[in-house]
Structure 1
Amino acid sequence: MLSEAELEALFDDFKDETFRMETLDRYAVSSENERLNRYLSGEPLEIEPATREWLEFMAEEISSGKRWYKVHILRSPISEYLRFECEWGYAVSSQYGQEVFILDEAEHARPEGVPDEDFWLFDDGKVALLRYDDGGRFLGAELVDGAGADAYRGYRDAVMEAAEPFAAWWDRHPEYRRENWLGSRP
């Protein structure tokens, strides 16, 4: 497994682009708990300093010519966590320049052979294969490079061909916006 420092170094060292594939319905990130609770309570969005620092780092990278993009493979109807992720995550990171795409398996088939795995792909050559427990808690990352990275480039290309821009998908699904469902929640 990669150490946290080794994983962070991949973000510092990539030259051209980084791609992220997400597949979970929930990520158990302790730093998100308070923000998720605020979202579910109907409170206004407030970006914490650590989140803002990450977004600004990403925006600086993008303004220097690097590409940051991701696809989340999900299935409608989506969980409350994914509603939060869409509204307070993807909508915000898009404003900082990240390209976000959705592959909704209720609308489009997952390309054949694409695994149910989360990963980062850096410059088409290094893959950080992300490991999570059944509750969505991050366990660590494994480095895959050289010929092993070829399959992940293929997965990226296949899901990018099948996915659609987040903004288009989000516009078609107003039912997932907090204002349209929070009051009817049990």
Structure 2
Amino acid sequence: MLLDGEDWQRVLHGFSRSAFRLETLPAYKVAGEAEEIEDFLNGNRIDPVTYTSGWTERLLAHRAAGRTVQRVHLVTRPLSDYLRYEFMYYEPHAKAGEDIRILDLTDRANPGLPDQDFWTFDDSTVVLMNYEPDGTQIDRVLVAGETDQYLEWQRIAVAESVPFADYVKAHGWQ
């Protein structure tokens, strides 16, 4: 089943315990980000201490309600301009309660994870995130049936990754 609009928002924000995202692409083409990326490339940065957004507000609400939000992003160095831009937002997102982790595959083999972005919610719902090669989103598909393989990929991704802050510190990007 395709998820869009209000249906997608209900799934994305209606979980009761946990949300997990596996990100596999070096860049995503998101409407409205082109100007922000250009600003970033020209040296403009957000203040991670004072930055707030709808997403940080939701993260704070999830954390206050005892819900967890976690993501693992697969990367290779050198990081794409998009990843460097996205990393700028990871710090305030982490401060708001998102457990962001990085799995750097530059000098190691992929531990068996798919080349497919997905979300899991409450260990029972899976949504595939389908993209064009350039990172333009095609659609979101609710997976019907068995979720065990996605939960195993989630387990591997978390076990093999490092916390975002540790990754940034290890690579001197503070």
Aligned residue pairs: how many? 170
Residue in structure 2 matched with residue 28 of structure 1 by the alignment:
29
Higher helix share: 1
Residue in structure 2 matched with residue 93 of structure 1 by the alignment:
93
Residue in structure 2 matched with residue 124 of structure 1 by the alignment:
123
- Cα contact 1:110–1:162 (8 A) shared by 2: no
Residue in structure 2 matched with residue 110 of structure 1 by the alignment:
110
- 1:15 paired with 2:13, answer no
**Equivalent AA in structure 2 for residue 166 of structure 1:** F
CA distance in 2, matches of 1:21, 1:111: 14
- 1:143 paired with 2:138, answer no
How big is each residue's C-alpha offset from its partner over 1:124-156, in whole Å with a ceiling of 9 and x where there is no partner?
A: 111110011111011111101431x11100100
**C-alpha displacement at 1:12, in angstroms?**
2.9
**C-alpha displacement at 1:59, in angstroms?**
1.2
* TM-score (norm: length of structure 1): 0.85
- Structure 1 vs Structure 2 CA RMSD: 1.6
**Equivalent AA in structure 1 for residue 31 of structure 2:** S
**C-alpha displacement at 1:46, in angstroms?**
6.4
**Equivalent AA in structure 2 for residue 17 of structure 1:** S
Residue in structure 1 matched with residue 64 of structure 2 by the alignment:
63
- Cα contact 1:102–1:163 (8 A) shared by 2: yes
- Cα contact 1:125–1:145 (8 A) shared by 2: no
**C-alpha displacement at 1:62, in angstroms?**
1.3
**C-alpha displacement at 1:36, in angstroms?**
1.1
CA distance in 1, matches of 2:166, 2:103: 11
1:146 partner SS: coil
Q: Which runs of 5+ in 1 are unaligned?
A: 178-186
- Cα contact 1:101–1:166 (8 A) shared by 2: yes
Residue in structure 1 matched with residue 160 of structure 2 by the alignment:
162
* TM-score (norm: length of structure 2): 0.91
> How many percent of aligned residue pairs carry the same amino acid?
31
CA distance in 2, matches of 1:109, 1:161: 15
How big is each residue's C-alpha offset from its partner over 1:58-112, in whole Å with a ceiling of 9 and x where there is no partner?
A: 21111110000000011111111111111x2211211111010000001443212
2:128 partner SS: strand
